[in-house]
Amino acid sequence: MNIIDELDWRGAINQQTDADGLKKLTEEKAVGLYAGIDPTGDSMHIGHLIPFMILKRFQEAGHKPVIVIGGGTGSIGDPSGKKSERVLQTMEQVKHNEAALTKQMLKFFGNENFRIVNNRDWLSKISLLDFLRDYGKLFNVNTMLAKDIVASRLEVGISFTEFTYQILQSVDFLHLFKEEDVQLQIGGGDQWGNITSGTDLIHRMEGQDAKVFGLTIPLLLKADGTKFGKSEGGNIWLDPEKTTPYEFYQFWLNQDDRDVVKFLKYFTFLSKDEIDRLAETVKTAPEKREAQRRLAQEVTGFVHGQKAVEEAEHISAALFSGEVSDLTASEIEQGFKNMPTVEVDAKKENIVLWLVDTTKIESSRRQAREDITNGAIRINGEKVTDLEAEIDPASHFDGKFVIVRRGKKKYFLARVK
């Protein structure tokens, strides 16, 4: 299947500047293409992942992706999607973010048939006079104002700095066309105005016969009409320090039946036959959630590796069954991140006093005794019914944690000081 046909089947194409021309080009040669990301943070989130998954598909099909880290554009701010001006970051913060994003990209794309560049390397060499003479003269203000990316800001106002962003992004495309043999820019739907400004600039400077193309990806909406990419707790980050691999896995596992096939097409490299098979299971056996589990496995594996998938599934199984005794300290850090947590000393203590006075897991000694004798209390996965039992915080999990389960589902984590 041609790469453009595949993207179309996956529902990953919104707009193209020349659909027939681009498809023909991809059949004739290995195409250079790029997407950019500004270093406004030190990690991508899953919303950022969408265009880079498209780049990865091109790479797998033998094409030549280039990623632009926007050290130059990121220092001034993209007006896209914002109702007010971005707060400018310090250059130290920008450089820190550049390094972090570069590390993530190398993990996803490797070093073969792939390049990362930074637009500060060429934008910083353009003087103000050269910018105005060589580029500014070629942009019509009326046309720029009509671009959605700018028009959406006119009511509340936009600074000249952010207004010029589309010129700088156009210069990026021109530079990559001339120096890196890049002919295609990919971006989200909100980047259409910037992308077409770039193709227009190349045609003006290199001739109307220059083969350059733009392709945007649809805004990804969930079945309930809300924008994809966030959970109740906020962004789902690709950095495991911000969103643990277990949380990441659970996010995908919990997707709605109405969305899961769409997300399998967008975020996995599974074949059409396999996705069609999983789509059938959603209809015939939705209670098994096989499609969601496969989605979670594939995306978590791509972002964090197979070991992270195995750990996430181990944590999930342990929490579901209550058999937590063989969890590692690292797995407890992930799986119990959002559980009620208290800090305790390492000293041994009677279970009743520990549950009431030390941790306040139980509201009273009477209630604690009742729960213990009824078998409702498990410590580190083991049922405790002896009122004289002692809690030894140093006995499990490298002496770092005590896991308490009250009833069937209520977990508490005691973190040893």
Q: Identify the burial level of 349 via C-beta atoms within 10 angstroms of its C-beta, where 0-12 means exposed, 13-18 middle and 19 or more buried.
A: middle
Alpha-helix residue ranges (DSSP H) falling in 138-210:
141-146, 148-151, 160-163, 165-179, 192-206
Instruction: Please tell me whether 246 is known to bind a ligand.
Output: no
Calpha distance 173→212 (Å, rounded): 9
Calpha distance 64→3 (Å, rounded): 13
Q: Identify the burial level of 228 via C-beta atoms within 10 angstroms of its C-beta, where 0-12 means exposed, 13-18 middle and 19 or more buried.
A: middle
Report the half-sphere exposure of 81 (CA within 13 A, side-chain side).
7
Residues 6 or more apart whose CB falls under 8 angstroms from that of 209 comprise none
- Whose CA is closest to 20, among 28, 32, 11, 12? 28
Strands (E) located in 98-154: 115-118
**Scanning the structure block, which residue is given the tokens 């959970």?**
231
Tokens at residue 383, please?
């049922």
DSSP letter for 134, please: I
Residues 6 or more apart whose CB falls under 8 angstroms from that of 332 comprise 324, 397, 400, 401, 403, 413
Instruction: Please tell me whether 169 is known to bind a ligand.
Output: yes
- Whose CA is closest to 143, among 120, 167, 119, 126? 167
Instruction: Please tell me whether 417 is known to bind a ligand.
Output: no
Which run of H or of E encompasses 350? strand 349-350
Cross-strand partners of 413:
341, 403
Cross-strand partners of 221:
227
Handedness of CA 78, 39, 205, 66 (dihedral sign): negative
Which run of H or of E encompasses 94? helix 91-109
| Binding-site residue ranges | 34, 165, 169, 230
| Binding-site residue ranges for L-tyrosine | 34, 165, 169
| Binding-site residue ranges for ATP | 230
